[in-house]
Structure 1
Amino acid sequence: MGSAMDGTPGRRRALVLGASGNVGAAVVRRLVAEGHDVRVLLRRSSSTKGIDGLDVERRYGDVFDTEAVTAAMADRDVVFYCVVDTRAHLADPTPLLETNVEGLRGVLEIAAGANLRRFVFLSTIGTIAVGVNGETVNEDTPFNWSGKGGPYIESRRQAEDLVLRHARERGLPAVAMCVSNPYGPPDWQPKQGALVALAAFGKMPCYLRGVGAEVVDIDDAAQALVLAAERGRIGERYIVSERYMSQREMFTIAAEAVGAPPPRFGLPMGPVRLAAAIAGASNRLLHTDFPINAVAARLIALTSPADHGKATRDLGWHPGPTAEAIRRAARFYVDRRDRNEQVVNL
């Protein structure tokens, strides 16, 4: 039977876990726009700005609440798992492993017996290899930076492996989506968008030379996950990214979109690594919470172009230019600032 997810009449019953996050909220918005029956499972303390006003059923609990997860999943066709702790800077990695791996493990046990059509897992571009000398990589390029990404990348690799193992060994109809750095409004709690916001405010006078990242429009990323619920091949993973973009280009696009001064000069990575090492030592010894450490700085530099051709071939996914999403994000951040709302913690 057809579905609105693939452009034909039909309606799916979807559950979104992690709907308070940026990607999770975008998935909810996409599902609602396509007319699906959407349920979300939220913690009562979670911000819901990204989904407020949408026609969704709200349930309350978290991924460790077996009863709540079981009840929320009971009559669903598709589950979108978008729960992730992204705090790569943490001095103590315990929360990363607890949420990203152990919380997922319990949900997978429930999902394996839930008679789902698809389990769409939000993974990360960080589980993909890094190209040597800037070479382009894809889903089949052997992972080549073990031990360099710290606890965050390790937790995400373990999580993705856990999902794909359930597909192989338990028959879970799972698909892993390796999403890169998403940009675009609404972005109420900027993470990747924090530097774009600073550039839009004219507070980013420099960029890191030779540094960039794979990027994608947040709405295109959501579309890829929704397409995967219909067309994704079970047990496969897909790169969800439009293209590689340098920091200089990204900050310049954001600044020029709102008439702010673009960055004027480039910095080498050396001073950044030194500052990150000092911040990491402070986090360990003084229990501060600076959002960077030596490993996080290494993650900034360990990037390369990636090929999303598999998602185009299998899913029919054709992302638009992320540059336009960055322009929209810049205008969104400036509008919030002009309304005297806190956008980023400076």
Structure 2
Amino acid sequence: MNDLGGRGHPKKLVIGASGFLGSHVTRQLVAAGEDVRVMLRCTSDTRGIDDLTVERCYGDVFDDAALAHAMAGCDVVYYCVVDARMWLRDPTPLFRTNVEGLRHVLDAAAAADLRKFVFTSTTGTLAISNSRPVTEVDVHNWTDGGAYIASRVQAENLLLRYCREKNLPGVALCISTTYGPGDWQPTPHGSLIARVAAGKFPFYFRFSSEVVGIEDAARAMLLAAERGKVGDRYIISDRYLSTREVHAIAAAATGRRPPRIGIPMGVLYFMAHLNDLASRVLRRDLPFAVVGLRMAALMSPLDHGKAARELGWEPQGVDIAIDEAAKFFAAQRV
């Protein structure tokens, strides 16, 4: 039976290790020689970590006993659980997981003897600006992100409140859209890369967004555990890229013709409104929702200088990550 008491040097706990980011955090911890424990649900798709030697424990973020058990003997917790289904007609699950589930985890973390709690936040909690790149000190100033963004803002605020009021050694990383290999489930943006890599999506959308390589994002999580200032947040993003550039990189990686048909925002909004109408009529959650498109269109260029200065984080290049993502998806078809 596995020892959960933490004999020897402290363990590193990854909650949400089966997800895209969590699996890469786990992989980098194992590669660094750390003693790694992961907390999973029994139903989790674990293809991203099945080749790794890690200690597994099972439970969900509402199971207080399982959380305490998982954190025993750990000095760092990497929290990588996010419900990102912004298209849900009923937003209750978003707040239940992203806020109430997090509250259970933070209560357990505040009671544990942790050195650091590294929280996966999102660039959606940041401000927007038309005049300059946004930094961490800019106050969130928009309300068009729907229930998903509202839940994530509440979650980040909850974490920071625990840092102030309960001495939780927490740090938040505001991570942008991630690309790279090992996107098994896959993410919605990863699905588009898969279609481009297969030569089945000759389109690009006429907007831009902040993007980062998944391995760069995971490395930032590890750096934050060592160097992040308690109660602070850090922007983890590489570049502001158009979807045309993203899809062109993916196409080139697999020898496909680059996307050549641009879809204007007006057309995208029309299609998204049809999606939402069909969702209501069919009583089904359909992913191409207006709220997601609006959120993508609003995002501003970001300044990751604080992460570079304080964490020593420098991205290796999202171009490489997109290239590797396309090749990963192409290999799954073989």
Category of TM-score, reference length = shorter chain: over 0.9
CA contact under 8 A between 1:38 and 1:56: conserved in structure 2? yes
Deviation string 1:13-65 (CA, Å, 9 cap, x unpaired) is: 11110101100111000100001111011111000011112110000110011
Measure, in 2, the Cα distance between the counterparts of 1:202 and 1:128.
35
Structure 1 Cα separation of the partners of residues 91 and 34 of structure 2 = 37
Instruction: Confirm or deny that 1:140 pairs with 2:110.
Output: no
- 2-structure distance, mates of 1:144, 1:68: 37
Structure 1 segment 155-234 matched on structure 2, within 5 A: 155-191=151-187, 192-209=189-206, 211-234=207-230
User: Which residue in 2 is equivalent to 1:253?
Assistant: 249
The aligned amino acid for 2:166 is R
CA distance, structure 1, for counterparts of residue 33 and residue 214 of structure 2: 19
CA contact (8 A) 1:283 1:290 kept: yes
Matches within 5 A, 1:1-150: 12-132=10-130, 135-145=132-142, 147-150=143-146
Distance 2:122 2:286 in 1: 23
Is 2:272 the partner of 1:272? no
Contact 2:146 2:291 in 1 (8 A): yes
Per the normalisation by structure 1, the TM-score is 0.92
- Residue type at the aligned position of 1:273: Y
Amino acid at match of 2:159: V
SS at match of 1:62: coil
List per-residue Cα deviations over 1:249-297 (Å, max 9, x = no partner).
0000100111111111322111111111121122233212211211111
Aligned-partner Cα distance in 2 for 1:257–1:42: 33
Q: Measured at CA, do residues 262 and 12 of structure 1 come closer, stay the same or move farther in structure 2, by a change above 3 Å?
A: farther
How far did residue 207 of structure 1 move? 1.3
Query: In structure 1, how many angstroms separate the alpha carbons of the residues matched to 2:220 and 2:91?
Result: 30
Q: What SS class does the counterpart of residue 108 from structure 1 fall into? A: helix
Three-state SS of the structure 2 residue aligned to 1:39 is: strand
> Are the counterparts in 2 of residues 80 and 121 from structure 1 also a CA contact under 8 Å?
yes
- In the TM superposition, what is the alpha-carbon distance from 1:330 to its structure 2 partner? 0.6
Paired AA for residue 36 in structure 1: E
Give CA deviations for 1:175-213 in whole Å, capped at 9, x if unaligned: 00001111111111121211111111122222122x111
SS of the residue 1:249 aligns to: helix
Q: RMSD value over aligned CA atoms?
A: 1.2
Match of 2:147 among 142, 147, 151: 151
8 A contact 1:217–1:322 mirrored in 2: yes
Say which SS state the counterpart of residue 189 (structure 1) adopts: coil
Any unmatched runs of 5+ in structure 1? 1-9, 339-346
CA deviation profile, 1:202-235 (whole Å, cap 9, x unmatched) = 22222122x1111111111000000100100000
| One-letter amino acid of the structure 2 residue matched with residue 158 of structure 1 | Q
On the 8 A contact 1:16/1:39 being kept in 2, the answer is yes
Shift of 1:143: 1.4
TM-score, normalised to structure 2, is 0.95
Alignment partner of 1:138: what SS?
Answer: coil
Distance 1:92 1:48 in 2: 28
Equivalent position SS for 2:17:
coil
Equivalent position SS for 2:74: coil
Q: Gaps (5+ residues) in structure 2? A: 1-7
CA distance in 1, matches of 2:119, 2:73: 19
CA distance in 2, matches of 1:206, 1:183: 18
Aligned to 1:318: 314
Shift in alpha-carbon separation, 1:132–1:125, aligned structure 2, 3 A: same
Deviation at 1:326, TM superposition (A): 0.6
- Describe the SS at the equivalent of 2:204: strand
CA apart distance, 1:12: 4.6
In structure 1, C-alpha distance between the alignment counterparts of 2:196 and 2:208, rounded to whole Å: 15
Q: Distance in 2 between matches of 1:317 and 1:255?
A: 28
Aligned residue type for 1:200: A
User: Which whole-Å CA distance do the structure 1 matches of 2:10 and 2:222 have between them?
Assistant: 11
Letter in 1 for 2:137: D
1:238-249 paired onto structure 2 within 5 Å: 238-249=234-245
How many residue pairs get aligned? The number is 326
